[in-house]
Amino acid sequence: MVRFTSSHQVLTIVGLAAIVWLILGIVVLFAGSHGPSASTYQACVDQNGNMRVLGEGLKGNYATQCKSNETLYEFAPSHRVGALETQVAELELLFNAEPTATPTWTPTATPTPTPTPTPDLLAAYQPVLAVLGANGVVLPLADFGNGGWNSATFTTIGSQSLVFTWSKAPANFDTPPALQGAIPVVAVNGVNEFSTSPDNDFWSRGDGVTDQPFSLGILINVSQKKFMAIFAKNGVGGSEWQFYTQSNGLYPGLIVRDHSAGAWVGRGYNGVIPGVNEWSFWVVTYNGSRSASGVKVYYNGAQIDNMNLVNGTYTAMENGTAPVTAPSQAFGGQIAGGACGPVFTHKELSASEVTELYNYCRGLMALP
């Protein structure tokens, strides 16, 4: 359990994984001889994600307290996080051993300890990537280890390293990013706050003759009900696929498009979901069959599609040059980032895999 402490309040957040994993790798290097106590680790984190360890053995005005622009984090040394348990235990054995020499300190005006190494920041992503398979990626929106809130770019994690560019740094959006449980979330206004990535063959699953399977997923909290693409590869250069809702939030679904023929096939839900200001986890899958029946739509882990979305005579998607957007410019609301950011994979996810992703992120975000 992680404890968030300020001068006026204590907020307990279970599983604040992204920050705790980073701090764990730092503090275990100091806990043996410099930890603040035998029962608690402490570190100060500023708004950019920079952090430093506190300890009686350190020198300087801020050796045992946070600066005005920092927040204090406390947690028990017995805390373990998933796959890092063995690594952290080994580090503790190594650095808690008796030192061969007494360290000496040379005071400076404002010492800033820089402990290394830090643990693998990808640990939280591994359960997601395991489900996505060999050709899957996560879009780690607003992750401190991948651009953060003050950067205008981030890079996908997984089988490809593809750069997305925000319309501006999320910290400068109308509503700044925040944390939902252990996951960063980005709020976009549905007008001029979005991210795009240039065309890449990884995103194209058709060649004009045949289609290949793919799936995508996204965890959103809608603030506006209107016609909007949410996660899509469409626009100038050839539309290929898009997850979207029609006017008033009706018929959320996936269509795959034959751009030159102006045709498409897909499936949607004949109803109004999601509700405004309600977190919802969407996964849409396509088996590559070039028919509407090859598409499935999942809402919060359950398949809900009940209508075909068909127009014209569809042959196959074409490998165009349109960019990928996630979230798109029209989407208004919040979108989960970090390890629960949008996903894309070159396979048709099964119902059990969709449920696994939903339960994992529901836990990280402390959703009911």
Instruction: Dump the DSSP string for 123-166.
Output: GGGHHHHHHH-TTEEE--TT-TTTT-SS-SEEE-EES---EEEE
Per-residue model confidence (pLDDT) at position 5:
39
Per-residue model confidence (pLDDT) at position 144:
86
Sign of CA dihedral 62, 63, 65, 69: positive
Residue 298's nearest CA partner among 218, 205, 204, 198 is: 218
Rounded to 5 degrees, what are φ and ψ at 304? -130, -5
Domain locations in the chain as residue ranges = 2-95, 123-364
Taking CA atoms, 40 is separated from 29, 86, 232, 334, in Å, by: 14, 20, 46, 34
Q: What is the pLDDT along the chain (368 residues), one digit of tens a residue?
A: 333 333 333 333 333 344 444 444 444 444 443 444 444 556 666 666 566 666 665 555 666 777 777 776 655 444 333 333 333 333 333 333 333 333 333 333 433 333 333 334 588 999 999 999 999 999 999 998 888 999 999 999 999 999 999 999 999 999 999 999 999 999 999 999 999 999 999 999 999 999 999 999 999 998 877 778 899 999 888 999 999 987 776 778 999 999 999 999 999 998 766 667 889 999 999 999 999 999 999 999 999 999 999 999 999 999 999 999 999 988 999 999 999 999 999 999 999 999 999 999 999 999 98
Per-residue model confidence (pLDDT) at position 276:
75
- Token pair belonging to 21: 């994993």
Per-residue model confidence (pLDDT) at position 49:
59
Q: Helices (H) and strands (E) in the chain — how many of each?
A: 5, 24
Query: What CATH number belongs to 123-364?
Result: 2.60.120.200
185: alpha, beta or left? (left if phi > 0; alpha if psi -120 to 50): beta
Q: What is the pTM of this model?
A: 0.69
Residue 335's nearest CA partner among 123, 126, 164, 161 is: 164
> Whole-angstrom Cα distance, residue 277 to residue 274?
9
